[in-house]
Structure 1
Amino acid sequence: MKGSDFSKLIKTRLTVLVTFSASISFIIAVKQANKQGVDTWGLLYSTTMWINWIKLVVGGFLVTSAANCFNEVIEVKYDKLMKRTMDRPMPAGRMTTGQGLVLGMAMGIIGTYLLGSLNLLTGLLSVFSILLYAFAYTPLKRVNAVAVFVGAIPGALPALIGYVAGQPHGRIDEIAIILFLIQFVWQFVHFWAIAWVLDDDYKLAGFRLLPTGERDKTSAVVTFIFAVILVPVSLLPTIYGYAGYYVGGVSLIMSLLFLYQAFGLLRTLEIKAARTLMFGSFYWLPVVQLMFLFDFIGK
């Protein structure tokens, strides 16, 4: 198997984004633990912290890769039907589903072990994430749009897992919930924008992922509503006093721009507008998360 095949198998770009999100939450959690007088993981930027951060990044990368691998094992016959997936190693015949399953299990076991070595809850959440993504979200994609709601949970769990990993005793507090909610609500606009752009390809495999299953006004309205909900959700760190007004201002600007892009889709119902919204989603999450991180650790 070539390196490019492995990259397609684990969906490298998606996996890196997921790991990035978890690593930000981890650093925020360590800083919060330090504020509370808990330094079991070491002070911020200590050697101990970076060792555990590496465990999180490597473990999170492997767990996410495993979930993607199981997803492709289950969907191999459908991936053969879609232009964007037919060249993946399993549908293209360069890897058997048995090989993919073994590789996925190996990555899942090693990744879960690394995350579990940080604390038990981190390991349990990683297992839950794999099971929910591969064995609930994946089969539901051919049923109806409820799959997106199910998929948004494992999609947002990396933010929660990263935070729990940064807490020596695996504690879930208010900040952890806020980080999860931000990524959870963002998931809907992000994914429906992608689903709008790729709807023709998805339908070749029988996937109906838009709110109504079609590129219609109602699907655009639902997408816009979630973009509206994202505005106050993005301000939660500032509202609850965990971030300053500068962070709130940047988050508000990013969210209003994102909302404007969602309105463009609602107004035109065009694939071009959905693509603009999709690319906007790629920028929104890392900018908001990084702003929160820099402000939080700077206090």
Structure 2
Amino acid sequence: MSTSISTHTSLPNFVADFKSITKFRLAVSVVFSSVAGYLLGVDQINLWHIVYLALGGYAMVGASNAFNQIIEKDLDAKMDRTKSRPLPAGRMSKSYAFIIASVLTLIGIYLLYIINPITAMFGAISIFIYTSLYTPLKTKTPLAVFVGAIPGAIPFMLGWVAASGNFGIEPGTLFMIQFFWQFPHFWALGWWLYDDYKKGGFFMLPTGKRDKGTAVQIVLYTIWTIIVSLIPVLNITGDFYITPISAIIIFALGIYMLSKAIKLYKTKQVKASKQLMLASVTYITLIQIVYVADKYVRSWMEI
């Protein structure tokens, strides 16, 4: 099969492959986090800034994922869940993918720069860490997850930076929340897809195995995630704070996620890791909604 640009003369095929190489669902979740952070940090909503943030954020994440798939083409071909991606399946050449990744990088930096330079800077840092540090470390050490948690935590705080134009305790708190959350999330994913990751030579679990040590760390980091998520109720994080009612809701969501982590610890079953992974996605999505809703409900009640 040809791997040239001509393979994409069919628009539906190009769209499908573009969504695959940019990891559409992951990119959309990142955009959601960024917009949530923006709504938390902004005093007066600028719809154009939301558009630039959404498109620029998607471009930056898409670029990171495209560079990642270029580097891991041969490894992706070994794993069941990735072997049908455009590059390992032969539907796209590395040079074509590189063009897409490069163009997305330029578009992303430009759109974020329109909002403010510091937003563009953090976007560029995210691409660099994900591509140059996290990606090569994945086949060398479980510490790759710690490195990958840095660019993974940037989107939530990026939204606040886009709204305020500066980095302070508020976006730092948002970063910390999403940073800690990623460990139970990705370790649950690593447990679930352990056999497939092993085919590609990826080290995703902290001990390298589906064992008690990994399960204990998943539980501990789930607890830390809940704790840092509740810090804003103490009113010590600047302009980012929540009411006790919202804190109770977040705590309840956290207990649900923790119950799944404890279940994994007790059973060591793949099914339990999948349930925890899905619970973690639900948790981060809903607490972001709760944070935003808390702010605007308080504002409405003060009118």
Would the TM-score normalized by the shorter structure come out above 0.5? yes
What are structure 1's unaligned runs of at least 5 residues? 32-42
The residue number in structure 2 matching 1:179 is 174
1:106 aligns with 2:118: no
Q: Following the alignment from structure 2 to structure 1, what is the Cα–Cα distance between the partners of residues 51 and 262? A: 40
Which of the residues 84, 102, 106 maps onto 1:87? Answer: 84
| Deviations, residues 69-109 of structure 1 (Å, cap 9, x unaligned) | 00000000100000000000001000001110110000110
Counterpart contact for 1:24–1:290, Cα < 8 Å:
yes
Residue identity in the other structure for 1:92 = A
How large is the Cα RMSD of the aligned pairs? 0.9
Equivalent position of 2:206 in the other structure: 211
Q: CA deviation at 1:234?
A: 1.2
Aligned pairs (5 A) from 1:25-104: 25-31=37-43, 43-44=44-45, 49-104=46-101
Structure 2: unaligned runs, 5 residues or longer? 1-7, 299-303
Is residue 2:146 matched to residue 1:134? no
| Structure 1 position 115 matched with structure 2 position 112 | yes
Q: What displacement does 1:173 show?
A: 2.1
Give the Cα separation in 2 of the matches to 1:81 and 1:104.
23
* Aligned mates of 2:169, 2:235 — CA distance in 1: 9
Aligned to 1:16: 28
8 Å Cα contact 1:217-1:266 kept in structure 2: yes
Match of 1:143 among 140, 150, 164: 140
Q: CA deviation at 1:174?
A: 1.9
The answer to whether the aligner puts 1:231 opposite 2:226 as a matched pair is yes
Q: Take 2:78 and 2:31, find their aligned partners in 1: how far apart are those partners?
A: 29
Is 1:4 matched up with 2:16?
A: yes
Once the two structures are superposed, residues 154-183 of structure 1 have per-residue CA deviations (whole angstroms, 9 ceiling, x without a partner) of: 00000111110111xx21122211111111
Query: Could you tell me how far apart the structure 2 residues matched to 1:205 and 1:286 are?
Result: 30
What percent of counterpart residues are identical? Answer: 37
Q: Which amino acid aligns with 1:30?
A: V
1: distance between equivalents of 2:250 and 2:187?
Answer: 21
Instruction: Report the number of matched residues.
Output: 282
Off by >3 Å, runs of 4+ in structure 1: none
Q: Secondary structure at the match of 2:61?
A: helix
Deviation for aligned residue 1:298? 2.5
**Paired residue for 1:288?**
287
Q: Quick one: distance in 2 between partners of 1:267 and 1:6?
A: 41
Q: Tell me the TM-score normalised to structure 1 length.
A: 0.93
Asked whether the 8 Å contact 1:79–1:91 carries over to 2, the reply is yes
